[in-house]
């Protein structure tokens, strides 16, 4: 099924670019890192006067139905979505064990969607076609053959590194072997794609270095996560101090792995008041068994919340216990924008130009987390100072308008 909304521009600026953005999921609602990044990119480009079209796979797992919350952005762009089923059957899973390709990527390929893309790029001349992430990379060959547009790959992370780090955390030898197999296949595919594009935009210097190490010879620019700062307005009169919180989607394995480790590690400390603070867990796709971690009046498993920023504002100390993953964590950037005092692993804060103890607290072990939490719980003024410094960092380096200017500068280098 194809859905579309029109776009009306009365005046075309001399320097206006016509940009097509391809995504592997519909970026509405903006309830996770990927949709937040995509939508903020679109806002930044529209604010600069560029013409933006968005074509999205509408995966069954994240199936989107248009609603009034989408109207503001959709009225400013051309938008199409294409329904696709990315689920994997038991037979597919077994077959994948003996396959050399990766079902994690192959499931996003659809012949009819490729035909739609080819018709689109033949009929409309785009200056830039931006592939948002690895899962739309299967369409590059078809697009390349049928247009002369410059093709840019925006790497949200090095996908194979997520699976490698997940494998490292597993004690079960069979799970470790299986995850390593997935990582090897994705790595091979990622490397094969690198030089098919005209340029690459990455969020972190680490990802740029990795791509160059793997043989990328096309231009690679670091363009960090940008957010629309006027949407992030902390109100401390509504903030509970002290309080700990975690916010993240648990259908992303690194999030689930990290928060499970934290709950198991500190459950007793929270339950028996070794850490005198309430802990709130919120996010999408939290499994029912997580209810077993609840402790009346001390640990709250809240599930999905109606308004993520209101939830963040209502709590004081943010926990990001990531043990695997890659790229830049949008939730940390958002938390910093909301002047939160954040305690994160160094991996979770990867790519952010933080200063430990100044605008974030880094903790990589149980003892480091315990000491950091105790310090924050005991000193509200310190928490507020860390949060204020965090907001200043985001204003300097992650304002969507500044970041988008850097992205457009990369476009212009290609044209």
What is the residue extent of each domain of the chain? 2-226+399-414, 230-397
Question: The tokens 């369409």 sit on which residue?
Answer: 139
pLDDT at 11: 41
Query: Taking Cα atoms as reference points, which of 329, 318, 301, 315 lies closest to residue 372?
Result: 318
Q: Would the pLDDT of 375 be above 90?
A: yes
The pLDDT value recorded for residue 71 is 63
Could you tell me the pLDDT band of residue 323, with boundaries at 50, 70 and 90? confident
Residue 107, pLDDT above cutoff 80: yes
Give the mean pLDDT of 272-293.
94
Higher pLDDT, 33 or 377: 377
Query: What does the pLDDT look like over 55-87, one tens digit per residue?
Result: 999 986 655 555 545 568 889 999 999 999 887
Asked whether the predicted pLDDT for residue 398 surpasses 90, the reply is yes
10 Å Cβ neighbour count for 139?
23
Query: What confidence category does residue 285 fall into, taking pLDDT thresholds of 50, 70 and 90?
Result: confident
Instruction: Kindly report, residue by residue over 131-189, the tens digit of the pLDDT.
Output: 999 999 999 999 999 999 999 999 998 888 888 888 887 888 888 888 898 889 999 99
| Fold of the 230-397 domain | Rossmann fold (3.40.50)
2-226+399-414 is classed in which CATH architecture?
A: 3-Layer(aba) Sandwich (3.40)
**Pick from 182, 192, 201: which is nearest to 132 by CA?**
201
Q: Please give the backbone phi and psi of residue 313, each rounded to the nearest 5 degrees, phi first.
A: -60, -30
**Residue in the block written with tokens 């078809």:** 142
What pTM was estimated for this model as a whole? 0.87
Distances (CA, A) of 53 to 17, 81, 177: 11, 11, 41
Residue 1 has pLDDT above 50, yes or no: no
pLDDT at site 6: 41
Equal fold, 2-226+399-414 vs 230-397: yes
Secondary structure letter of residue 127 according to DSSP: S
């Amino acid at each position: 099924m194809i859905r579309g909304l029109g776009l009306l521009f009365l005046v075309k600026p001399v320097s206006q670019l016509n940009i097509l953005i391809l995504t592997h999921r519909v970026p509405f609602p903006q309830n996770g890192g990927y949709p937040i990044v995509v939508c903020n990119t679109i806002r930044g480009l529209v604010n600069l006067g560029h013409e933006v079209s968005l074509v999205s796979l509408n995966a069954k797992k994240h199936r989107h139905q248009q609603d009034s919350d989408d109207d503001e952005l959709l009225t400013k762009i051309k938008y199409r979505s294409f329904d696709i089923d990315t689920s994997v059957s038991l037979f597919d899973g077994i077959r994948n064990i003996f396959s050399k390709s990766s079902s994690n990527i192959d499931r996003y390929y659809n012949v009819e969607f490729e035909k739609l893309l080819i018709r689109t790029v033949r009929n409309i001349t785009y200056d830039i076609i931006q592939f948002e992430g690895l899962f739309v990379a299967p369409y590059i060959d078809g697009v390349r053959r049928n247009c002369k547009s410059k093709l840019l790959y925006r790497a949200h992370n090095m996908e194979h590194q997520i699976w490698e780090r997940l494998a490292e955390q597993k004690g079960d030898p069979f799970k470790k072997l299986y995850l390593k197999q997935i990582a090897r296949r994705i790595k091979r595919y990622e490397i094969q794609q690198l030089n098919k594009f005209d340029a690459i935009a990455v969020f972190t210097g680490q990802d740029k270095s990795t791509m160059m190490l793997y043989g990328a010879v096309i231009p690679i620019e670091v363009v960090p996560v940008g957010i629309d700062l006027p949407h992030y307005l902390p109100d401390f009169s509504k903030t509970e101090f002290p309080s700990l919180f975690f916010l993240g989607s648990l259908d992303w394995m690194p999030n689930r792995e990290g928060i499970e480790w934290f709950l198991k590690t500190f459950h007793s400390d929270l339950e028996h008041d070794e850490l005198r603070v309430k802990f709130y867990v919120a996010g999408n796709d939290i499994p029912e068994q997580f209810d077993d971690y609840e402790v009346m009046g001390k640990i709250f498993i809240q599930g999905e919340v109606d308004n993520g920023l209101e939830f963040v504002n209502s709590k004081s100390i943010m926990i990001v216990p990531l043990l695997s993953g890659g790229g830049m964590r949008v939730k940390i950037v958002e938390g910093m924008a909301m002047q939160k005092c954040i305690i994160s692993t160094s991996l979770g804060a990867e790519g952010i130009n933080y200063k430990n103890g100044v605008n974030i607290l880094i903790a990589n072990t149980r003892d480091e987390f315990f000491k950091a939490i105790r310090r924050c719980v005991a000193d509200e003024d310190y928490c507020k100072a860390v949060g204020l410094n965090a907001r200043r960092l985001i204003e300097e380096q992650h304002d969507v308008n500044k970041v988008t200017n850097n992205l457009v500068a990369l476009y212009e280098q290609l044209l």
